[in-house]
Structure 1
Amino acid sequence: MIEARPLIVRLRNFVGDTVLSIPALRLLQSQGYRLELVGKGWARGLLEAEGWSVHVRPGGLRERITQLRELRRRLDAEDPSFDGRSNTLLFPYAFSAALDARLAGLRAEGHAGDGRTWLLKRGLPRREGRHTLVEYWELACDFLGVQAEPPKDIAMKVSEAQREQARALLAGHGVEPGRCVLICPFANGRVEFLDRSWPAFPDFVRRLHAAGRQVVIVPGPAEEQGAKDLYPDAIRLDGVALGVYNALLQGAGVVVANDTGPAHMAAGVGARLLSIWGPVDPARWAPWGSTVTLMRRGPTEWVSVDEVMSAVDQALP
């Protein structure tokens, strides 16, 4: 007899979405499911401290179906009821996610729509006007048949080993714990054809340096050259695993970030976050949590460097 029923959960392909899905994943776990997550390779590092099993999703259709079929066979051997019930929950909205599950013989549930409902065991409602975290939370509630309120904070887990690695990294660069300004100035891609990058970020960092603040940047692999060129005065930490990045964010004095995945990570671990927001509507995508300060003037005007400098000075007197 198994302790918990296995459930395959397909994650979305973006860091921010995965962070925002954590409360829903915990709800599923609390209701007696053992999660078998399928997602991008970085999801393992991001969620390492949560203790969930993460299977890296292959790129090709044939390989994806093979992976899901093998996972299905293993879980069915562990739990005789696996093939007789809903055994997969899809966070992505895409047709392809439902098709993969159907071709693998899984009994999947997910949001209805995008012409994929016929592929699902049950299509669940996608309600309008919800923050993304609430949308994922309600998806889990509908799957479970329960009603509950989402938490005020994500409280993403960070292990002591990750914190120790983060402390060692900062100490190696002479950074004072809890006093640095960690910046997340990159925003990969655009949303609804709108640029999410605060244009004054380089000037802001120059002002921080002139004021004697220690500034830390943790660029992704595709951002390292940009970090060198645009932020030469910042202490650059290259090649950091996402779990250790979580610890760096949690231990920073204050985090200043664009609308980007690391901003959601910062909010997720309870970092003091100044979230610089521009033309994109924050009602759906703003970082979630009680430690977040949203800095936005409106859809056509960004906040000034002086405003953000003042907020940093208040956070780090």
Structure 2
Amino acid sequence: MIETVGARPLIVRLRNFVGDAVLGLPALRLLEQHGYQLHLVGKGWARELFESEGWPVLVRPKKLRDRVKQLRALRAEACRIDPGFDKRPNALAFPGAISAALDMRLAGLRAEAYACDGRSWLLTRAHPMDMKVHALRSYWDLSCAFLGIKEAPPASIDFKISPAQYAQADAMLQQRGIKPGYVLVCPFANGTTALVDKTWPQFMSFVERLSASGQQVVICPGPNEVEGARSMYPTALRLEGVGLGVYNALLARAKLVVANDTGPAHMAAAVGAPLLSVLGPTPLEQWAPWGPNVEIMQRYPVWYTADEVLARVQQRLS
């Protein structure tokens, strides 16, 4: 329930991928700084991801009728505390799919979003989209267009981590006997770029050699990655069932994070962790991790070898 009297609610549909959600954080903060009370709709994992920001997140149902029912209820509650809610643009959709705009239109919301996927007619205002800018800049520019301002995005995301999240992370590390100075690896990469797998093909060899050197290597597999982590990375210290907020704390505690093009890499960059991102076909101008502590090793179609990355990691750790 929306409780703040005199609030100016804004319903925001989040993207479906962790990396995109992280890169949208500065845009969300910008909206909040301009007086909007954010009510986010997205995947279940977004609740913990944004817990430290204090924004409520509604989990988006799978069926259309349930999604529309959810948005109508949220709209009714917003109108109750803000009589002007229905008289102004009151929703923003970050995803580019037509379904995001359709849900909002059927719920009676006055939504704004980028003009793509043939959905402009569903929107109160459709904004032109520059496909060549970085994803963080794309979400930022959409918020700027909604607000009618022009500002440059921040150089760092500075994801908040709560004391409770740090405490949970420290308890996990202590329980497993993991000492300060560990390397956290993020070897899984969902999806492809231009139909090419984004996974560094020598990640398994790299982790085996790094562990053999005496370095503590930590991996936090997602729900669909547990079996792969157990079979492919047996020498790594696995922390399973970690929520994204606590994952942020584990990333921040690491001496170094080594990652593919994957959501946790963007999380690492966002919390300011030292990140070595090993990339192949990923277009850096759109998807490079955003932050001052990011180092990228990119070579394609001949990727960097395990020895080359290991040598760089040992230099970083020395």
- When normalised by structure 1's length, the TM-score is 0.97
* Aligned-CA RMSD value: 1.0
Quote how far apart the aligned CAs of 1:3 are.
4.5
- What are the Cα deviations for residues 138-185 of structure 1, in whole angstroms up to 9, with x where unaligned? 0000000011110000001110110111111111111112x0010000
Residue of 228, 231, 234 corresponding to 1:229 = 231
Residue type matched to 2:265 in 1?
Answer: A
Q: 2:198 aligns with which of 196, 209, 214?
A: 196
1:174 has 2:174 as partner: no
- Structure 1 residues 272 and 3: alpha-carbon distance in aligned structure 2, compared to 1, 3 A threshold: farther
Percent identity, aligned pairs only, is 58
The alignment status of 1:284 with 2:308, answered yes or no, reads no
Question: AA paired with 2:70?
Answer: Q
Question: Does the Cα contact within 8 Å between 1:98 and 1:119 map onto a contact in 2?
Answer: yes
Q: Look up the SS of the partner of 2:193 in the other structure.
A: coil
Is the 1:9–1:89 Cα contact (8 Å) retained in structure 2? yes
Deviation at 1:190, TM superposition (A): 1.9
Q: Where do 4+ consecutive residues of structure 1 move more than 3 Å?
A: 1-4
**Equivalent-residue separation in structure 1 for 2:130 and 2:150 (angstroms):** 15
Equivalent residue of 2:196, what SS? coil
| Unmatched runs of 5 consecutive residues or more in structure 1 | none
| Structure 1 residue aligned with 2:316 | 315
Matching residue of 2:273: 271
CA-to-aligned-CA distance 1:223-279 (integer Å, 9 cap, x gap): 111111111111001111111001001111100000011111111111100011001
Alignment pair present for 1:40 and 2:43 = yes
Structure 2 length normalisation: TM-score? 0.97
1:58 aligns with 2:61: yes
Structure 2 residues without counterparts, runs of 5 or longer: none
Work out whether residues 257 and 268 of structure 2, in 8 Å CA contact, stay in contact via their aligned partners in 1: yes
Describe the superposition over 1:112-135 as per-residue Cα deviations: whole angstroms up to 9, x where unpaired: 121110110000121132000000
Q: Does 1:160 align with 2:163?
A: yes
Mapped to 2, the partners of 1:160 and 1:171 lie a distance apart of 16
1:185 maps to a residue whose letter is: P
Aligned to 2:114, which of 102, 111, 115?
A: 111
Aligned to 1:301: 302
Letter matched to residue 174 of structure 1: G
Matched with 2:146 is 143
Instruction: Please say if residues 153 and 288 of structure 1, whose CA atoms lie closer than 8 Å, have aligned partners that are also in contact.
Output: yes
Residue 286 (structure 1) shift = 1.1
